[in-house]
Structure formats: structure tokens, C-alpha cells
Amino acid sequence: MARLDVTETFHDITFPGHLHTEESLHYASHFKFQDTDTLIVTYPKSGTTWMQEIVTLVSSSGDPERAQTQPNWARAPWLEQYYCPDVLKASQGRRILTTHLPYQLLAPALTGSKAKVIYVARNPKDVAVSYYHFHKMARFLPEAGTFSEFLSAFLKGTVHYGSWFDHVKGWTSNARNIHHFLYITYEEMSLDLRASVERVSGFLQCPLVEEELTSTMKSCSFNSMSENSMVNYTLVPQEIIDHTKGKFMRKGKIGDWVNTFSEEQRCIFDAVYTSRMADSSLKFVWCVPEQEPPLKSRRDTDPHQTHHILERTFA
Ligand code: A3P
């Protein structure tokens, strides 16, 4: 499957044709969930691979064997990517699934299901920067152009996988319709990995003893994952990901957007954010002020520095 220049459009959202077909998207939107499934949901570049690693390790009681011998797409396949049915046919035990699809496309399939859903969100400014760099490497994504051009498409929601705003609002505002739902942010994972792993293990009802928790944290640290070819995407051939243009495990930092955004871009972003999130009660902790590099003409207040955790579990 090459289709590197193909764009697949499904319900007005575009997807890279290299990994998605009309059939694969239809399969995902009609997926038959099992109550024992765990579904990781993210907008791209929000910490998907990181959560796949955490869930894999938590489910294996901290044993790194599976995480170090099986690529992430084989142990936690994306529902909407064309190879998913084959991977699931070959897999045994409880399934870990991944998706970037917006809520409305999976809502019918999830109705009545007791699958456990983990939603990972990340500061959209860091998402935009990470996504921009990934466009430069991934030959199955369109040309990113300049950062300004990319940011404009990101804010409009015309990039692949659609609008960040619609994605995060769609999933979080419908959390009440999902039987078991855990909301967690990349920032929480970065600031307190131990507490984040404990939240995931509690949610999945996979308790870890201290040794297992330590082993999990070690294997899912940025440094370990950067070295692990099962998650750092170095297994993907050069003609699909150009490894000379950058690394998938790029920086792994929070608040690093300040090193890319101009003051003007930040103002535009904040205005769009305020308007697009006006109908959302979700508040985020995006960064810790002391850890954030100074921005030349930084405003005194940041509207996004409040914290909100959403978690629903109905036994
Ligand atoms: P950066 O490009 O900012 O470095 P996704 O898996 O959703 O595509 O997200 C990729 C982003 O998550 C990249 O961000 C990558 O470095 C970061 N990431 C992956 N594993 C991580 C880890 N263990 N710790 C911190 N960041 C991680």
C-alpha cells in the first residue's frame, strides 16, 4: 500500500490515503467493540504512542517484553487504518485499540459498549508544532509549507484528521455517553508520570506493585522510547518516513511552542482558541509557568492555565 499522494475524505474529514481507505474508515465507524477492549483516543501528536506504551506496560504488569518486541501499530492498531482487521485476527487476549477519529464517527459503534476509552489531550500549540515537524518527515502527509501556513490550516481544521477543537470538544462533551471514560493530558503525564501511570492502572483495573510501576515508568520514559525501535518509527522505510528530516521522538517537551510561535501567531491562536472553546467547560493545565521559557512580550495571564480532570467510570 503506497498511495502516498492520495487523500481520503470521509464525512468531510481528510485522511492520508497511505493508511486509510474508504473501506477501512467504514470498518472503523461500524466496529464491533468488545467490553474488554481498551480504546486510546487522540488527536494526532497528542501523546498517542506514549499512551500506547503505558497501556501495553500496565497490561503486562510492567514487563517490557511485548513493548520491546512488537511494534506499537501491531499491539495497539489504529481502528481506521487498513491493516487493523488483519492485526486483530492474529491477536490474542484483551485488545488495545487506537483511534484518531472524531467522536461523531465512532459514537454509533460505542453506543452500549463497555469498552474502556482513554482520551489524551495536549496543549494545541505544542500539537501544532509537533504536527508541523511530522509533516516534514512523513511522506504520506501533504507539504506543510511555512509554519504560518500550516498554523492557519490547523486553526481552520483543514489539516488531515480535521479540527483539534472539534476533536477535543466532541469527545469530552460526550464523555457522559461513554461507559468507562478516562481523560488525561500529555501535560499531566509529563509533570507526574507516576501518578499518570497509577491513574491508567486504576482505570484499567490492572493494579501494579511498586516494582511493576517502576519498570513501567522506566520503559515509557522519553529516553527509553526514543531508543526503542518498536515505537520510535525507525522501522518505517525511508520512502514513507524520511528519517533524515527529523525524529518521531522529537523533543517530548511541554510548552516548547514558545520557541516556534511568533507573538503575532500566539495572539491569533489565542483569539481562535477563546472563540472556538467558548462553548466548552473544559479547562486545561497546559504548562507550569516556572518551567516555561520566557516569551519576550508574554502577557501576564494565560487563559489556559487552569486544571480540570474528567473521569467517568460506571461499574
Ligand atoms: P514532540 O514532537 O513535541 O516531541 P503522537 O504519538 O500522538 O504522534 O505524539 C508524538 C509526540 O509525543 C512527539 O512530541 C513525541 O516526542 C511525544 N512523545 C512520545 N513519547 C513520549 C514520552 N515518553 N515522553 C514525552 N513525550 C513523548
Q: How much is the pLDDT for 313? A: 36
pLDDT at 308: 35
Q: Which residue has the CA at smallest separation from atom 26 of ligand 1? A: 252
pLDDT at 285: 62
User: What is the rounded distance in angstroms from the CA atom of residue 265 to the CA atom of residue 147?
Assistant: 10
Task: Please say if the pLDDT value at position 70 is more than 90.
Answer: yes
Is the pLDDT confidence value at 289 over 90?
no
Contacts 24+ apart (CB under 8 A), 237-242: 239/4, 239/139, 240/4, 240/18, 240/138, 240/139, 240/140, 241/137, 241/138, 241/139, 242/136, 242/137, 242/138, 242/139
pLDDT at 294: 39
| String of DSSP letters for 39-92 | EEEE-TTSSHHHHHHHHHHHHTTT--HHHHHS-HHHHS-BTTSTTHHHHHHH--
Could you read off the pLDDT of 3-13 as tens digits, one per residue?
Answer: 899 999 999 99
Q: What does the domain layout of the chain look like in residue ranges?
A: 7-252
H or E stretch including 171? helix 164-173
Residue 269 has pLDDT above 70, yes or no: yes
Query: Given pLDDT bands bounded at 50, 70 and 90, which one contains residue 176?
Result: very high
Predicted confidence at residue 311, as pLDDT, reads 43
Nearest ligand 1 atom to the CA of 52 is 6
Q: Which amino acid is located at 77 in the chain?
A: P
Mean predicted lDDT score pLDDT of the chain: 90
Number of other CB atoms surrounding residue 131 within 10 Å: 25
Residue with CA at minimum distance from ligand 1 atom 22? 222
Closest C-alpha to 196, from 35, 10, 51, 22: 51
Pocket residue to mutate for ligand 1, from 52, 57, 222, most atoms within 8 A of Cβ: 222
- Report the predicted TM-score, pTM, of the whole model to 2 decimal places: 0.92
Known catalytic residue at 100: yes
Quickly state the pLDDT bin for 286 (edges 50, 70, 90): low
Cβ(182)–Cβ(198) under 8 Å? no
Tell the residue number behind the cell numbers 459498549, with chain if given. 113
Better pLDDT: 134 or 282: 134
Residue 138 DSSP class: B
The residue whose CB lies within 8 Å of the most ligand 1 atoms, and thus the one to mutate among 48, 55, 130, 133, is: 130
pLDDT of residue 306: 31
Q: Nine-digit cell at 250?
A: 522529537
Catalytic residue among 18, 20, 100, 167: 100
Q: E strands, the chain, where?
A: 7-10, 13-16, 38-42, 96-99, 116-121, 180-185, 311-313
Minimal-distance CA residue to ligand 1 atom 10: 45
Which protein residues touch ligand 1 with a CB less than 6 Å away?
42, 44-50, 126, 130, 133, 190, 220-222, 225, 249-252
| Domain 7-252 superfamily per CATH | P-loop containing nucleotide triphosphate hydrolases (3.40.50.300)
Ligand 1: residue whose CA is nearest its atom 25: 252
Mean pLDDT of 106-123: 97
